[in-house]
Amino acid sequence: MGMIQNIREYFHQRFLKEALHKPVPASRKRVNLNTSKTIGILFDATDQVSQAQVMDYADALRLSGKRVHLLGAVDTDHEDGSFPFPSFSRKQIDWALRPKGRAVKQFLETEYDLLVHLNPKPKLVLDFIALQTKAHLKVGPFLDQNIYDLMIDNPTCAIPVFIREMETLLHKTNTNKYAHA
């Protein structure tokens, strides 16, 4: 089992490197949390606590006038359509750990002002989606690859701490103060 997983991860990394060298279709522009109108959130939806924390955050963003699109990765073999958000399971991941399916396709078809991989630790399938997503600013966990524009290096923190750190950094990068300079 370990050797097969290593082979899958090898090819995943290979496809990831190839995708990193392709031009990104979304143009980069000045974006921060306050100016973002559309926000895409990728997250590990395997446990209910994480789901609730992400849903609460998405609701708070919606209350502030943002359009929020969620995509959860569920680490099970069966599809459970009972989630209140679009998701994909292990059944929808190919041999090279690339996610497929209608929910993934719909998420990738939308262009976002801000993309957030809301997980303190990298997750291969979500990082692959983040790489392919059209977004003006991408935020996620620290990686060796250059997928995210802003990376947060705190792999042991809980999701609420990750959100707080991300928002603190995004508020410090408020581009409106310097727009006339």
Phi and psi at residue 126, to the nearest 5°: -75, -35
User: Is 100 inside any structural domain?
Assistant: yes
d(CA 67, CA 114): 11
| pTM exceeds cut of 0.95 | no
User: Residues of 20-40 as b/e, b for ≥16 C-beta within 10 angstroms?
Assistant: eeeeeeeeeeebbbeebebbb
Q: Does some domain include residue 181?
A: no
How many domains is the chain partitioned into structurally?
1
Q: Which CATH number does the domain housing residue 31 bear? A: 3.40.50
- Determine, yes or no, domain membership for 159: yes
The residue range of the domain holding 61 is 2-176
Q: Model confidence at 17, in pLDDT bands (50, 70, 90)?
A: low
Model pLDDT for residues 19-48, shown as the tens digit of each residue = 665 655 556 677 888 889 999 999 999 999
Whether residue 39 is contained in a domain is answered as yes
Distance CA(11)–CA(93), nearest Å, equals 13
The verdict on residue 56 lying in a domain is yes
